[in-house]
Structure 1
Amino acid sequence: MTDNTQPQATNKYRNNLKAFDYGNQFWDESERNGLAGIVANLVGDGSLETADGHRFINVSCCSYLDLDSHPSIVQGAIDALHRYGVLDHCISRIRIQIPALLELEASLSQLFEAKVITAISAGAATAGILPLLASGHLTQGVRPVMAFDKFAHFSMSLYKPVCGDETEVFTIGHNDMNALEDLCRKYRKVAYVADGTYSMGGHAALGDLLTLQEKYGLFLYLDDSHSLSIVGRHGEGYVRSHIDQVNENTIIVATLNKAFGTSGAAIMFGPKGKQVEDILTRFGGPMAWSQPMNTAAIGASLASAELHRGPELALRQNALSRNIQLFDEFIRTEQAGNAFPIRLVQLPNDKVIRSGRLLFENGFYVSPVFFPIVAKDNAGLRVMLRSTISEEQVLSMCELLRGCIES
């Protein structure tokens, strides 16, 4: 006799059914209205063009400084391919690696003033690091309690169950320093997992976190992907530019795919560089598999690192800042006044898709966002400003957005 009883989910750390049932209706509606699954090519003026000739500006792109199409970075990828004659050795870096990978890590270490190793993506880095952090291998053998910020990116929250197999895992309120300090008082070692800069705007409470670190030895695992390149004299990001050094109780992870303009991820850590590197590259899951950064990504990243040392970085940072300030003059959002380029224009659920379609028809792709991307009943249009969008384009987009808000 077959038992058709389904096993019961505990949903201690995640709930796919809840996310799917609520979010999928918005994805379906986005597709029906041509706001998802768009196929388009980049054209000469920086806009995108679909097969039927519709041109639009992408204002939902994480390439905040538009370096992903910079001629020197594209050429860097090409030059590396010609130099080494292979795209990907497809072997673990702990066995064989091309010299350019070590050259890149040395360049990034000098640029960001921290020991840096790379990974194929920030998600792969997180998948490798967090379980080793949970088991105490990055905290001198002391197994820490893991405290995840409620708003920690999905790429980190995804590994709560894996960490929960090694240690005790808590989810605390966003930037709730009182709850975090309570854990620090109660447990010998605590590791805090959060974004340095959040994908919907805002930063970690870095000053308070550093105070807790000094007082209790709090370990900080911060993903600062959204601020790399746009913050700091050399584009080192929000967290790294606000701390004197990356100490043994801190790891900063940042993708190179966003404002840095290339591909892969940088992992910044402290003074015990070789010891930590060996742990991560031998036992760090995807970091130990045959998935290092490929040759084109390494060449492009070397070129971007050089660009970060020159005057062009500041010019692009300043242009981005002007666009952010201009947008804030005309559209009021909760993020207004901060230096981060993402703004959420909140709209009722029944207006979000309609408004997104109106903007797209008028030459601007601004993505509708909804649960689980944002909290329930907090839907809106996510504007992601870039350095090369013209003042005229920003003003035109703002005029359309104001019409959506007021209608």
Structure 2
Amino acid sequence: MGTAAYDGDVLVVGGGIVGLSTAYAVSRAAPGTRVVVLEKEAGPARHQTGRNSGVIHSGIYYRPGSLKARFAVRGAAEMVKFCAEYGVPHEVTGKLIVATGRDELPRLHALVQRGRENGIPVRELGPAQIQEYEPEVRGLAAIHVGTTGIADYRAVAERLAESSGADIRYGADVVQIDRRAGLGVAVRTAAGEIVRGRVLVNCAGLQCDRVARLTGDDPKMRIVPFRGEYYELARPELVRGLVYPVPDPAFPFLGVHLTRGIDGGVHVGPNAVPALAREGYRWSVVRPGELAGTLAWPGSWRIARQHWRYGAGELRRSASKRAFTDAVRRLVPAVDPQDMVRADAGVRAQAVLRDGTLVDDFLIREGERAVHVLNAPSPAATASLPIGREVARRALALL
């Protein structure tokens, strides 16, 4: 099959920030390489990218040497630079991570050490110093992380799309993938369109394991969707910037936090509850086939057995506004239930292994003429530029 028979050299499935960063990186690393992006929605960034806290993460939480640590630290600086260059609303705000109980103090100190190992400047604060940054926040101790910020990631995705030079096809839901020896990759969409390329890159987020299986590769994991519910603070003046609890290292979730967005509003959340559909942004959205797939995966049951206490607390916060408010009041006692206005939810694509392991790091695997991004939850938006370069490097090596 000659080059002319291909619609593109690299076919990217998924028009979120990671897929579009990959297209952008391919065009920078190998000008003239033809990239086609297939996105099932009518526009970019309709799922994880456009439904998060909008935080530029510093990288303080992540194990030194991990992809998350390396890419988040590098990606935070690059994201600020990208936003400035392309006129995307952003701000470097800094953030507080606050210990409200004595049992959290060792974990807070461990974060200080981890931050230093990752090359992140952190400042340790006592109770009085906390209030210099955040007058309404109460805690026994805190750390201030100066490199954290906020950005409009949907706008970032739009700029990446415009600047990549890729052929971006919206409304292109991939339903079949055919790899034939020496003939590249052929993709069929729900509309019946056939798109041919030399290499396929799977950046399908919530659907990435399904797309991997369509290629014939066994991803050895499943996406278990967790819905994150948010509130908006009716009195945004209670919080100046970003305020986080000390996270539990056993989970890849950061706990209910308060985030002042680029629009000046303050987001509160998210919790983490199992979703009844991969794109189940409301309890009313139930997809029996997807739910059955989650329940059939042995890892789902192992998570439930191992972490049922944690999960019960998250479900209680989902069902009860008072319980959600109580979690916030540990950090900001002045918040009342009437200050909490329900906002749009997001769904996190969490990779789970067969043995119940919650995949903590970014997970990128290769198959024959294919690169699969199989775990890219937070801080993937922050780290999207270096992730895109890494995925692009692997894809170009397969051409």
- TM-score, length basis structure 1: 0.24
Q: Which has the higher strand share?
A: 2
- TM-score, length basis structure 2: 0.24
